[in-house]
């Protein structure tokens, strides 16, 4: 694949574009927030021919978008709660991601519910019915079985092969279904931001938006403290759980979701997500998800959160115990706290609809126009970012009385998604960069940056030259996910520092 310099984000480009903006700060659409919603919105707007600027106070994927379970959901859980519309929307958007937008970053993940004595006949029938409904959703969304195989029952031997740590005693087999799994959520955010940049959007990290109105904002370069006022025909607030700070008309009821990071080896290097029913609840499960870098993510919780929104949420002891206790009901050898390599927690930007448990609040998204004209896009989920973005840009076009082309994002591949076969390269590189793997390989040395961490020096160099990484946190916590394990982060630090110095 050829390198497309237009999609490359770097410190130099950021500096240049900030100077240009100081000279002429008049744009069609200003997008506030560089999570999945904001980058999707910037891509939608730019690809319709609108002059678009996106700002993030911190970094791309700094907020909730890097703390997800990294699944492209088919919407089954919404079907179970009677939300047919949102379930269908999820299934359609999952299909678009897996076949057109980012097939290189999303794979089919087998999810296994082990049939242990704790799963009685009724629960078995319920899960099986749910999986069949999931198959039907996939078919109505026109996602072929070659992309996501249909669900089925497997025998005990196969179940144990897929999830070797599962308890064998009383194991009758397993129910297997498939969903989409991202290699990493932050990686999708960065790929979409670069695709937006290739369509002439200006993408600026470490730039906060303040005093936001429907046609202007004060932008501050958080690195230098310099400020400028930008005028925009429409302003889209995609600030996630911080949306209420940008537009006080927005009321959210955040809920925290926590995952633990475990060594995959300890769970026998599973190839399926072990899906364990939460005792005493119907239709809620804990998942042990096989992940990159030899890890398993164990999630997830749902805890209402009050008070100030932290920059980086922290898991509680109670959540750690709950996750371990639940997964242990299905394991041959129980896990303990000393097995946990790291934890990560994120806040769901749920709309406040009054009363109710946060787990019951709708995951639907909303596009709201506030009294001062700001268009806010809130709620939703990673899987449906494209539709959220389309709705937000439609609202921005109406708000700013803009003239624009129709939305094209259902057929717009992200960088790395084209079908060019990369030359023979390490599979981990192809899984993370798709058809851009060759360009990454040319960016530097293909040796791992530290023992047991399969991230290469070339990847860090590429993150600096093409993915807008400005410091070691960007490199270790977002462009790569080494930082999810504090011990690995420490060992990777010298390589990250060298990559930033260009040595
Ligand atoms: C634990 C958990 C697991 C989840 N798992 C899944 C899953 O598997 N699949 C799925 O589809 N969905 C999942 N979701 C939902 C999904 O992750 C979120 O809906 C989505 O990431 C929200 O993205 P966002 O862009 O709206 O917000 P964010 O990612 O939080 O982005 C907001 C951005 O705005 C920036 N910002 C804030 N204020 C300002 C300002 N004043 N100026 C400039 N920038 C500003 C922040 O720095 C931040 O980067 C999960 C959510 C949680 C919490």
More confident residue, 353 or 245: 245
Q: What is the pLDDT of residues 333-367, one digit of tens each?
A: 999 999 999 999 999 988 876 655 555 455 678 99
Ligand 1 midpoint to CA 69 (Å): 12
Q: What is the pLDDT of residue 22?
A: 86
Query: Residue 66: pLDDT above 80?
Result: yes
Mean pLDDT, the chain, as a whole number?
Answer: 94
Lowest mean pLDDT of 136-140, 329-333, 423-427, 481-485, name the range.
423-427
Q: What is the pLDDT of residue 360?
A: 47
What is the pLDDT averaged over residues 148-153?
Answer: 97
As for ligand 1, residues whose beta carbon falls within 6 Å of it are 32-38, 55-58, 62-65, 67-71, 73, 208-209, 238-242, 246, 257, 300, 346-349, 380-383
What is the pLDDT averaged over residues 145-169?
Answer: 98
Distances (CA, A) of 183 to 191, 282, 313, 432, 451: 12, 29, 22, 7, 21
Homologous superfamily in CATH for domain 71-183+255-348: D-Amino Acid Oxidase, subunit A, domain 2 (3.30.9.10)
What is the pLDDT averaged over residues 105-130?
Answer: 94
What is the pLDDT averaged over residues 12-39?
Answer: 95
Q: What is the pLDDT of residues 358-415, one digit of tens each?
A: 554 556 789 999 988 999 999 999 999 999 999 999 999 999 999 999 999 999 999 9
Q: Which atom of ligand 1 is closest in space to residue 90's alpha carbon? A: 11
Structure tokens at 206: 């470490």
Q: Can you tell me which residue has the tokens 């804990």?
A: 286
| Closest residue CA from atom 52 of ligand 1 | 68
From its phi and psi, is residue 268 left (phi > 0), alpha (psi between -120 and 50) or beta?
left
More confident residue, 421 or 203: 203
- Counting ligand 1 atoms within 8 A of each CB, the residue from 31, 33, 78, 273 with the most, and so the one to mutate, is 33
CA distance 90 to 364: 10
Q: What is the pLDDT of residue 447?
A: 96
Structure tokens at 136: 């039907």
CATH classification of 5-65+186-251+361-411, choosing from 2.30.30.40, 3.50.50.60, 3.40.50.300, 3.30.70.141? 3.50.50.60
Going along 282-371, which residue ranges are E strands? 285-291, 295-299, 303-304, 342-348, 365-369
- Counting ligand 1 atoms within 8 A of each CB, the residue from 34, 239, 380 with the most, and so the one to mutate, is 239
Long-range CB pairs of 132-139 (<8 Å, 24+ gap) are 133/76, 133/79, 134/74, 134/76, 134/79, 134/177, 134/179, 135/177, 137/74, 137/75, 137/76, 137/79, 137/87, 137/88, 137/91, 138/74, 138/91, 138/95
CA distance 381 to 346: 12
Which of 109, 118, 115, 122 lies closest to 157, judged by CA? 115
CA distance 335 to 322: 12
More confident residue, 26 or 488: 488
Query: Residue 427: pLDDT above 80?
Result: yes
Ligand 1 midpoint to CA 475 (Å): 19
Q: Which atom of ligand 1 is closest in space to residue 63's alpha carbon? A: 30
Q: Which atom of ligand 1 is closest in space to residue 39's alpha carbon? A: 25
Distances (CA, A) of 236 to 217, 375, 390: 11, 5, 12
Q: Which atom of ligand 1 is closest in space to residue 257's alpha carbon? A: 1
Give me the residue spans of the domains in the chain. Answer: 5-65+186-251+361-411, 71-183+255-348, 427-500
Lowest mean pLDDT of 34-43, 261-270, 273-282, name the range.
273-282
Pairing of strands 71-72, 202-205: unpaired
The string of DSSP codes covering 59-71 is: -TT-SGGGSS--E
Answer whether 0.95 is exceeded by the pTM. yes
């Amino acid at each position: 694949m050829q390198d497309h310099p237009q999609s490359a984000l770097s410190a130099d480009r950021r500096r240049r574009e900030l100077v240009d903006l100081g000279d002429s700060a008049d744009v069609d659409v200003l997008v506030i927030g560089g999570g999945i919603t904001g980058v999707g919105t910037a891509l939608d707007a730019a690809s319709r021919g609108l002059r678009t600027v996106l700002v993030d106070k911190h970094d791309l994927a700094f907020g909730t978008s890097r703390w997800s379970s990294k699944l492209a959901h088919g919407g089954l859980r919404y079907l179970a709660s009677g939300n047919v519309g949102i379930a269908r929307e999820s299934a359609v958007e999952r299909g678009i991601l897996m076949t057109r937008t980012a097939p290189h970053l999303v794979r089919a993940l087998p999810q296994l519910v082990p049939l242990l004595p704790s799963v009685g006949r009724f629960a078995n029938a319920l899960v099986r019915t749910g999986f069949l409904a999931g198959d039907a959703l996939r078919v109505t969304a026109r996602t072929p079985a070659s992309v996501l195989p249909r669900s089925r029952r497997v025998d005990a031997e196969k179940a144990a092969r897929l999830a070797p740590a599962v308890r064998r005693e009383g194991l009758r087999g397993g129910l297997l279904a498939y969903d989409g799994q991202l290699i990493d959520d932050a990686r999708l955010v960065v790929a979409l931001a670069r695709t937006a940049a290739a369509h002439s959007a200006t993408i600026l990290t470490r730039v906060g938006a303040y005093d936001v109105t429907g046609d202007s904002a004060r932008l501050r370069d958080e690195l230098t403290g310099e400020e400028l006022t930008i005028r925009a025909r429409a302003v889209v607030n995609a600030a996630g759980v911080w949306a209420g700070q940008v537009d006080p008309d927005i009321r959210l009821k955040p809920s925290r979701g926590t995952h633990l990071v475990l060594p995959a080896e300890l769970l026998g290097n599973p190839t399926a997500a072990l899906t364990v029913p939460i005792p005493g609840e119907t239709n809620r499960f804990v998942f042990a998800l096989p992940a990159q870098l030899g890890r398993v993510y164990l999630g997830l919780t749902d805890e209402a959160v009050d008070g100030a929104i932290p920059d980086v949420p922290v898991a509680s002891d109670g959540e750690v115990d709950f996750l371990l206790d639940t997964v242990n009901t299905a394991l041959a050898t129980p896990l303990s706290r000393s097995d946990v390599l790291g934890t990560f927690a994120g806040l769901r930007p749920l709309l406040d609809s009054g009363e109710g448990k946060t787990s019951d609040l709708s995951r639907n998204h909303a596009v709201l126009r506030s009294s001062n004209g700001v268009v806010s896009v809130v709620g939703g989920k990673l899987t449906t970012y494209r539709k959220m973005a389309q709705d937000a840009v439609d609202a921005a076009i109406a708000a700013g009385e803009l003239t624009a082309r129709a939305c094209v994002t259902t057929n717009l591949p992200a960088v790395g998604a084209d079908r060019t076969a990369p030359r023979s390269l390490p599979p981990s590189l192809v899984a993370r960069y798709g058809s851009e793997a060759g360009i990454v390989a040319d960016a530097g040395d293909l040796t791992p940056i530290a023992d047991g961490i399969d991230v290469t020096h070339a990847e860090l160099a590429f993150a600096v030259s093409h993915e807008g990484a400005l410091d070691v946190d960007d490199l270790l916590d977002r462009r790569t996910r080494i930082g999810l394990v504090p011990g690995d982060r420490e060992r990777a630090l010298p390589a990250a520092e060298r990559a930033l110095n260009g040595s």
